Structure 1
């Protein structure tokens, strides 16, 4: 059934005017002019096809038609307020859903979420694998991590990184280049894997050298699983924390972005 269009501004003015029985005092409450209140009431009367107020020698008076709907109207406004509070409660909750490629989750995100949880045990995370397109609506996401030259159509912040590094087994390895989707010049490689995280693991196993995002290799370099070959290389691409504007503005999302950047 098609929902009837509700003249909400006019109904809000009606509620105020009915409580005060004065357009002037209603205008003060609503921070508008008495003339604006009168215009809203006349427009509402035209829309509804009824007279809502009469002027008498004693002042402004509600008609029976105007009085008939007030109880339901005020109950409706209370329910609107409850709905708004329920929607805002999501911002104050400590539950966040994050989408990220599998290797980013394993190599970079999980250790940082563990550190956040250690300082704030009430925080809850739901992790979604997203190696390609991100659908914030379908997955009910709060934040996503994606590879690119910028945030694209979303709000976003770049994750700080030294670019790309080449890594190999600490004892040296064969000179074979380990290829992964997105790796430059991986067409001639003899070893190919599904993502940069697996490329790091293949290098740690001695299968060759992998050129990967520095931020993904940082933990394995620090742990001694792999060693760096040469200097880091700048890259136009990088990982970005992204979200549509409504999600990005949420306090809990901004707090997470700040924490992940530390």
Structure 2
């Protein structure tokens, strides 16, 4: 199911033995667009610090439920590696975090989650990460501490969007798939460029550059095509029919199985 990242903000996260805290922000990687961590502000039970929760541990995130449920205990969360959310999350910290929980690495494979398209993980088959982790860390050990391609959606919200022929608007949100934990779309508010404009969706597949220093997102789509694309209504869930309409409008192949723009034409 496709949902907005905003719908996660403030949602309670529950362990098997009680509440952990509430989601403050979301970290994603800027290469595969995978949602890697939920940043959760804990309650007073552990001095209100911030912890990372990986989608590997999430049981379900149904919008109709009262929170996000994880296959963890509060003690596991309390003992997890500390995180300073005011600094970039380094690859070394990620390795320490994944080793602690026994999660597989998500980098180095062909899928969004390493060798898989889903954050599949069974606590009963806890992975022995010791030797593989050391090999993986050796690949990144000489890079800057923050060079793990992790970004906060809060950071990117508000970035300028550059079309092939000029500015078109600003990033106003994110739409993610809550099964694969992949960001599929940025929502773009075009009203800063076009006074009678609207919100539209820009697929992450259509983004070729993010300039972190210039705070811009660039696409090869033109301003006219974006201006005339189907409008996005944030009060209505994004369903496959709307996605099909959007991809057909741009003549782009869909990310879902077997879809091409040509095969979907009437």
| TM-score for both structures, normalised by structure 2 | 0.19
Structure with higher Rg: it is: 1
Bigger relative contact order, structure 1 or 2, given CA contacts below 8 A and separation 6+? 1
Per residue, is there more strand in 1 or in 2?
2
| TM-score for both structures, normalised by structure 1 | 0.20
